[in-house]
A and B are shown apart, each in its own frame.
Chain A
Amino acid sequence: MGKIIIQRLVISILVMLAASFLSYFFLYMAPGDPAVSIIKSQTGREPTQAEIEIFRENRNLNIPLLDNITIWFGMLSKGDLGISVRTGEPVLHEFKDRFGATFLLAVISLVLAVLIAFPLGVLAATRPGSVVDHVTRVIGLGILSIPEFWLGLMLMVLFSLTLKWLPSFGYGTIYHFILPTVTLSTGMSALLMRLMRASMLEVLNLDYIKMARSKGLNRPLIIWKHAFRNALIPVITIIGTQFGHLLAGTIIIETVFSWPGIGKYLVDSIYARDYPVIQGFVFIIAAMFVVINLLVDLSYAYLDPRIRFEQGRN
């Protein structure tokens, strides 16, 4: 077990370094000058050549690509992600200030989606062809074909503008959470429900389920103890990647609901060519993906003893 984790950590560090290198390289190649766009947004007029030069000098924008990368890795090793060109604040602070909002949104949406998807998926799988199965399938497919931003806007129109029950944007109270989390978890629960149903159906047809029946065990025990755990393995993979995307900031939904999370901030930074922020955020997001994948792999090992022992032997 310890050996897998060490192997994984080494690979993870390499992945993170590669991700941040690539993101930096592509940004450098992209057109647009941060000096121009930031001064413009601050003063509201075309900057003079002198202003641009001073800005570039002050914010370390004149350093060549390779030197810059060396500096970046040097800073990384000290846990420093640099300073935002736009705000002058350390990137790490900018991230910390916004990550809470994104994290809460992600966790609540995911938990909600799982709580809806798992029981419905299992129910549909244990009664294939039943009314429940057909209804959940039709609704699930319908939901999957609705774009998320449109659903968000429609919910906003209904519950904020027409009924005036919930705030349409912002962050702070529990009411602010309802529309964004419902929007995010709707699509996800439809996806997870379909997956859960398919995986569960497959497991329920296996020999060991027949064996469990032949032992006289009752249905709930067979479904939850014998089938569910084994059916969970493929679903966990998808949950992992979904959660990664949520944590990386659901850019569209955060924009629709003016959610003060990292997704919205990252997009704003990209428009402003705020190199240090983009680079720092990409690095942290890559790190989060790596950690989530590691957790997914560990959960396989927990769920399936065959994986646990096989890898332990290597």
Chain B
Amino acid sequence: MESVLKIKDLSVNFNSKDGIVKAANNLNLTIYSGEILGLIGETGSGKTVLGQAIIKILPQTARVTGEIWYGNRNILALGEEEMNKIRGKEIALIFQNPSSSLNPSLKIGEQIAETVQKHQGLNKKEAWEKAEAILSQVGMPPRFAHYYPHQYSGGMRQRAMVAICLACQPLFYIADEPTRGLDVTVQNQIAGLLNSIIKNGKGQRSMLLITHDISVAAALTDSMAIMYAGEIVEYGPTREVFKNPLHPYSKGLLNSHPAKGLKPIKGFSPSLINLPEGCKFFSRCSRAEKDCQKEVPMFGRKGGKHIVRCFYA
């Protein structure tokens, strides 16, 4: 399979009053065309930072090192102007919390149309026609283009958000917690919508699905990366990871799911300011030995594409 996006040794640090926040540390990840890759982890593990780093909209205080290869271009080396030709046109970011991510003073139609106008050189009228067409594509009546975000329900707002991202038919989508805060039925609808966008892309479209919702990940993703404290600790085809989670954290995470009896992992994630030296999961791990505290385990291959960052998995 051909890769769409290759992340190499990506680190993201933020300078804060309390010290350097290490939100992502030496991440390596490849997303293949046609697939949905799930990035799973608890809140504060750096998932959102990774998503925003790909499209380069992190705040100015962020220091990003490493490489992000999109085709033959290293995104991190591109200037703003070149980046603006990729954003929205080739790579789109579906934000979490559409209530605050949609501009309250602009009609939904305008928020879709302006992207089309920018990237496809259409005039206002054509762009609006396109906006209405896209709205119906995500299951909304075209007249809703003339409504403002506050007139939409939560689920409709998320659909509108998807419509904005879909406007220019990009090939790569980053969906950041797209189902968060929605009713379960609406969650399923949005998940179905995202799935159909990728599956109708004739193998051309792919998605990085950032979520902490394991059932959504299980239903949608082809492969999964488990993230813990700014590091990826396990990666593999979704079916294998679910059937046989290797990393103690992955096991804990999958077991904390209600369907598996809701067993929470004891302890808390480490602060991203004072990360421990060795394995970041050491203090919460039941399998930990002394050497875990000394050095970060390298990835070990466990058959096929399934890899894990643990000495004892």
Contact = CB atoms under 8 A, between A and B. Distances in A.
Interface in A206-224: 206-208, 210-219, 221
B233 interface: no
Contacts of B101: 207-208, 210-211
Chain B contact-residue range equals: 20 to 34
Given A216-B88, A305-B148, A210 B115 contact: no
B95 interface: yes
B97 interface: yes
Nearest to B102: A208
Contacts of B88: 214-217
Contacts of A303: 105
A230 interface: yes
B219 interface: no
Contacts of B95: 207, 210-211, 214
A98 interface: no
Contacts, number: 77
A208 B103 CA distance: 5
A304 interface: yes
Contacts of A225: 106, 114
A214 B102 CA distance: 12
Contacts of A304: 104-105
Nearest to B99: A207
Interface stretch (B1-9, B69-77, B79-87, B265-273): B79-87
Contacts of A217: 84, 88, 114-115, 118
A215 B104 contact: no
Contacts of B150: 305-306, 309
Interface in B81-134: 83-89, 92-93, 95, 97, 100-106, 114-115, 118-119
A218 B88 CA distance: 12
A206 B149 CA distance: 15
A208 B164 CA distance: 12
A303 to B, nearest CB: 6
A230 B104 contact: yes
A214 B103 contact: no
A137 interface: no
B57 interface: yes
A8 interface: no
Contacts of B164: 211, 215
B148 A214 contact: no
A176 interface: no
A213 B115 contact: no
Contacts of A229: 105
Contacts of A210: 52, 57, 95, 101
Given A214-B55, A309-B148, 17 more contacts: A206-B100, A207-B95, A207-B101, A208-B103, A210-B57, A211-B101, A211-B102, A213-B87, A214-B87, A215-B92, A216-B85, A221-B114, A225-B106, A225-B114, A306-B148, A309-B150, A309-B151
Interface of A: 206-208, 210-219, 221, 225-226, 229-230, 303-306, 309
Which 8 pairs, one residue from A and one from B, show the smallest C-beta to C-beta distance? A216-B87, A216-B88, A215-B88, A207-B100, A305-B148, A214-B93, A216-B84, A207-B101
